[in-house]
Structure 1
């Protein structure tokens, strides 16, 4: 049963990885609550800046730069291309350098073109700036990898889904924020030509503040530095009396071994670190001992062998990227997040097309609701996924939820495309239903991702996130060359077909260490 007190108090932790087994959402003093806050808020401001153009693009910027409808559509496609590349790169970077520094790097690099947004005076300059601002979309990968590193498998789906859901809401909030910032500068006496340019300075400044907080106030892992994560896992095993060698570790990444064979004395070191003992000769307990979950010896070994992230070689990166189990999460995300990105870019224009009485502000407000539903729908997908896993004790339950959401999403897309509603109640109701299952499917997806090749979680997250962006590019091209209603049902057919084609593949390899 859910206990509301867990949202405020220090969480129970896994004794080997020290990952939290509850989500202290409101406790930002606690390390887990603090990391969780910066993971979702960092992605929130990144998404806000990434999608800062669409609310102003179809009217103010379009007139100022004398853009055509085709130019606007092309700029939306270009905005997704850099993100695709960065997400592919960010995955291996997370495994090698750690998600915190990868996160900070994407935010800082993406802040530069954000500040320069106002310097666009031609179509090509706009295209170039939107391409490089797309780097910010790559921050999703370290956001999810960082969250996965701090929360255990019983709650990681909820943590990832809430972090991504709140972060994705930046794509909805921008429809309120950017017009409001723009209008505030108009009231201060700036001309429209100047006001929209100055508006982009605001998200740039906030990105810098969030990055500083992320670096100065947070840790790489629950046990400290990223480079020392293997040693801490081995140290924790020994501290809990598990007298075994760490054999069959994935990719041979755990090389220091614990051995007490042929002796009754406790080990004095693990790797290069000394173990601590009290005056009686007993090991000192972990600083987390009062909050540790009870795991069996085998569960501890499986955790150490299967969940410690390795530094991948190029061969290992490609092996994980193109394993059938990774491709399941990748192509399901291709359909769900790809559809979300492309729909986010055209929804306000679609509303204006079907409902002539809606002005720029009102159509933008209704379009924002699609993105804002991420606050509810995406976390709910992760929460339900975790509940199914805890009660049914099988990862297949998470996978079944993912494909169910995918098929229902496809049905909603087809219905919207076929009906092409000109009644506001019908249109807004169908879009809300679509958002519930589409965004819930995104949450269910990244609830499944931590179970797939957990020793290379960054690579799996990067491949999945990048393929979602690839879907956004493909679906944006479909919107570019077809009427909006026709595009909806085409995307719906693709979504149903792809989910049905992938549903038979097991969630992870039978040879996977520590998986269940």
Structure 2
């Protein structure tokens, strides 16, 4: 409910010299919720919901909790936040400080830009991977390594906890390379991070012992989050 607005706000509030770091830090701390949710839902809430119902039904029912939190947060943001650092769009347009732009025309302009789709693919290769891991990691550790639901969720949460620093590191590296080489520097950083991420996912998929899988997942997560930050 708040991630996209957060990324937009941070992009508008900071200059190009540091926007990568700022954007990556706030995005990383936002995505940290993926790890926190796994930890809260698995070891903490799941045992409570499991009382009086099957384990499968309890796991489905406990998902109501983050849904309620997300909905409440969205409503709160809608009523207490501004559209941009300069204020709400309606007020800016009313006072002539913002031109009227058709949403359809703006969307069409972006969709017709080839660079938009390149960035779309790049981001799908990192953020899309994170979403997949957030959804599947607990199930993977439960089925592949015979862990309990609570233990599997706790292990899976580690992937999200790497957002504490890894995404910010990616943004920082991108800013530094941009200062030296411009946009080409940012592209180099992201290419290297995506390549390392791809290598780690192959290693992770072929790791057969639990301890090794956890260690590889941590390194894998660092590259995933850093690649997101470099975007």
TM-score normalised to the size of structure 1? 0.40
| Corresponding position of 2:165 | 376
The residue number in structure 2 matching 1:394 is 182
Match of 2:17 in 1: 154
Q: Deviations over 1:298-331 (max 9, x none)?
A: xxxxxxxxxxxx7245344223223122122111
Q: Quickly say closer, same or farther: Cα 1:200–1:354, change in 2 above 3 A.
A: closer
Q: Does 2:205 correspond to 1:422?
A: no
Match of 1:403 in 2: 191
Give, in angstroms, the shift of residue 402 of structure 1: 1.3
Shift of 1:440: 0.7
Q: What is residue 314 of structure 1 aligned with on the other side?
A: 104
* Cα deviation 1:266-298 (Å, max 9, x = unaligned): xxxxxxxxxxxxxxxxxxxxxxxxxxxxxxxxx
Residue 148 of structure 2 is aligned to residue 359 of structure 1: yes
1:191 aligns with 2:52: yes
Partners in 1 of 2:68 and 2:135 — Cα distance? 24
Q: Is the 8 A contact 2:37 2:66 kept in 1?
A: no
The within-5 A match list for 1:452-491 is none
1:85-104 alignment, distance < 5 Å: none
- 8 Å CA contact 1:223–1:232 kept in 2: the answer is no
Deviation at 1:343, TM superposition (A): 2.7
| Residue pair 1:221, 1:229 contacting (<8 A) in 2 also | no
Bigger RCO of structures 1 and 2 (CA < 8 A, at least 6 apart): 2
Residue segments in structure 1 that go unaligned for 5+ positions in a row: 1-41, 44-139, 235-252, 255-309, 446-516
Q: Any stretches of 5+ residues in structure 2 without a counterpart?
A: none
Other-structure match for 1:345? 135
Q: Secondary structure at the match of 1:162?
A: helix
Distance 1:232 1:434, change over 3 A: farther
* Change over 3 Å in CA distance of 1:363–1:212 after alignment to 2: closer
Cα distance between partner residues in 2 of 1:335 and 1:367: 19
Q: Give the C-alpha shift of residue 200 in structure 1.
A: 4.4
Deviations 1:112-154 (Å, cap 9, x if unpaired)? xxxxxxxxxxxxxxxxxxxxxxxxxxxx433322332333323
Q: C-alpha distance in 1, partners of 2:148/2:62?
A: 21
What SS does the aligned partner of 1:154 have? coil
- Change in CA separation of 1:341 and 1:185 when aligned onto 2, cut-off 3 Å: closer
Matched length: 228
Instruction: Provide TM-score, normalisation by structure 2.
Output: 0.82
Residues 169, 374 of structure 1: 8 Å contact kept: yes
Partner SS for 2:4: helix
Out of 85, 88, 92, which is 1:222 matched to?
85
Q: CA 1:198/1:432 → structure 2, altered by over 3 Å: closer, same or farther?
A: closer
Label 1:314 to 1:224 Cα distance change in 2 as closer, same or farther (>3 A): closer
Q: Corresponding residue for 2:45?
A: 181
How many angstroms does 1:204 deviate by? 4.2
Displacement after TM superposition at 1:171 (Å): 1.8
Taking a change above 3 Å as real, the CA distance of residues 330 and 208 of structure 1, as seen in their structure-2 partners, is closer
Q: 1:437 aligns with which of 216, 223, 226?
A: 223
Q: How far did 1:421 drift?
A: 1.5
Relative distance call for 1:341 and 1:313 in structure 2 (3 A) is closer
**Is contact 1:172–1:372 with CA below 8 Å preserved after alignment?**
yes
What secondary structure is seen at the aligned counterpart in 2 of 1:192? Answer: coil
The answer to whether the 8 A contact 1:354-1:421 is kept is no
